[in-house]
């Protein structure tokens, strides 16, 4: 299992608006419910500077757990 990073201002905006966070990587995506946002993250120590507006930001790392559809062909155990 790997990690995926989000800029801190995007993370903070989701917290402020009490919204869940969706992350796309290639053809996969994951969904972090608002209730789990605070416990699911870790901040990087390093600061980065945006090439577009010069603002500094840090990254917030999450464990990469892509969404997988349930296999409807598989039987369920009772």
What tens digit of pLDDT does each residue of 2-60 get?
Answer: 888 999 999 999 999 999 999 998 889 999 999 888 887 788 889 999 999 999 999 99
Q: pLDDT band for 74, please (50, 70, 90 cuts).
A: low
Report the predicted TM-score, pTM, of the whole model to 2 decimal places: 0.75
Q: Are 67 and 31 in contact (CB under 8 A)?
A: yes
The Cα 12–Cα 60 span in angstroms is 10
- Shortest CA distance to 32 belongs to which of 71, 61, 2? 61
pLDDT given for residue 77 in this prediction: 64
When pLDDT is averaged across residues 68-73 and rounded to a whole number, the result is 68
């Amino acid at each position: 299992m790997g990690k995926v990073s989000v800029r801190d201002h995007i993370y903070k905006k989701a917290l402020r608006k009490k919204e869940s966070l969706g992350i796309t990587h290639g053809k996969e995506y994951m969904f972090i419910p608002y209730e789990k946002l605070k416990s699911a993250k870790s901040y990087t120590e390093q600061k980065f500077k945006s090439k577009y507006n010069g603002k500094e930001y840090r990254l917030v790392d999450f464990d990469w757990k892509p969404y997988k559809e349930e296999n409807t062909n598989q039987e369920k155990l009772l």
